[in-house]
Amino acid sequence: MSELPLHAEKLDAEDELASLRDRFVLDDVVYLDGNSLGALPAHVPGRLADVVRREWGELRIRSWEESGWWTAPERVGDRIAPLVGAAPGQIVVGDSTSVNVFKALVAAVRMAGDGRDELLVDATTFPTDGYIAASAARLTGRTLRPVTPAEVPGALSGRTAAVLLNHVDYRTGRLHDLPALTAAVHASGALAVWDLCHSAGALPVGLDEHGVDLAVGCTYKYLNGGPGSPAYLYVREELQDRFDSPLPGWNSHAEPFGMSPEYAPAPGAVRGRVGTPDILSLLALEAALDVWDGVSVTAVRAKSLALTDFFLRCVGAYTEPGRVECVTPERHAERGSQIALRCPDAGEVMKRLIARGVVGDFRHPDILRFGFTPLYVGFRDVERAARVLGEELA
């Protein structure tokens, strides 16, 4: 252990994003769990109260049109689009990530055609994606093959219909090479489906630039949409006409109020809708996205890397060597916006950290997970978290 000069105040003073912190409701805990549930932007309760009291309470049914409720899934999708490098008209918001994984995978298999009988899934995926992929494979008569992202290039063949990958590993914080893996998937003639839950709002994604076919992600982590806020589905424009949803609800109909017994899909992103949108959650999310106005994802990424670098330096200074093992890659190109530290007593250690106002989370069986949300976490927070961690590990 060495006491390095750890200039947290200086780093905070130089931080261009520091003023954004005031836009969130935060007390004096160090909140390093925004990759699980983002903090509350301070203006959201007022906006939500207006939606409930005026739009619902006074306007009632008129709000579907007058308050823009009906078109909110596409409108909010277009607000998320610049954060993930997508042009407008390709993202729709609604349902959970799990449900959108299902829509995306079944639609991808249908687009890939009959000759391709294999579905590859990230073997290290967040579990829900794996469960849904298994069911999608069963329903479409394909074989599911779990492979690690590193094994994907070698596993691809003329049999591959689609590949489902996580952009950032939720456990280790490893960032996978989306451009290279997408290109490899395309070279085999398959479709690439990405889960962006731990990357959107933390780092540049470049969906259009890298030709991603389909993508999904949640909005309650780095996008601060609130507990259970609806997820999103991206379908690349060129594929939208061929997107054959396995859940073709009336909201995705070309004429939803035609009440026709025959299904006819709407054009564009709307085709990804299912049933009546979750208006209260959706409009809380829409308001929450205001904090991104004028914020560049590049600046967010730069600060995220500075925060995680600084955290690692502080942990090095305050913790006995060998007490924890960092499982998050050192290289910036392979690092998301979290640091995962392994130690045998991680569950107990995290309980003590939380009791002392340093909120991260524990991932089974031995991972201490710390998420760094550059909109509202500063360098002094990071130094304090590492100091308390060092004390609890001593």
Ligand X SMILES: *Cc1c(COP(=O)(O)O)cnc(C)c1O
List residues with catalytic annotation. 126, 195, 220-221, 369
Nearer to ligand X, 44 or 202 (CB): 202
* Residue 162 near residue 105, CB atoms below 8 Å: yes
Nearer to ligand X, 15 or 129 (CB): 129
Order across the sheet with 91-93: list the strands.
91-93, 232-235, 214-217, 191-195, 160-166, 118-122, 143-147
**Single residue of 129, 286, 381, 383 touching ligand X by CB under 6 A:** 129
Residue 128 binds ligand X, judged by CB under 6 A: yes
Q: Return d(Cα 177, Cα 169) in angstroms, integer.
A: 12
- Give the pairing of strands 338-342 and 325-326: antiparallel
DSSP class of residue 174? B
Instruction: Tell me which residue of 236, 220, 239, 216 sits closest to 228, measured CA to CA.
Output: 220
From the CB of 61, what's the least distance to ligand X, in Å? 30
Residue 353 binds ligand X, judged by CB under 6 A: no
Residue 236 binds ligand X, judged by CB under 6 A: no
SS3 call for 16 = coil
Q: Binding pattern to ligand X, positions 156-195, x when CB under 6 A?
A: ----------x---x------------------------x
Q: By CB under 6 A, what part of segment 252-281 binds ligand X?
A: none
**Single residue of 24, 69, 73, 97 touching ligand X by CB under 6 A:** 97
* Residue 382 near residue 390, CB atoms below 8 Å: no
Q: Return d(Cα 315, Cα 132) in angstroms, integer.
A: 38
Residue 234 binds ligand X, judged by CB under 6 A: no
Q: Binding pattern to ligand X, positions 188-217, x when CB under 6 A?
A: -------x-xx-------------------
SS3 call for 266 = coil
Q: Which stretch binds ligand X (CB under 6 A): 2-10, 73-81, 94-102, 144-152?
A: 94-102
Binding residues (CB under 6 A) for ligand X: these are: 96-98, 126, 128-129, 166, 170, 195, 197-198, 218, 231
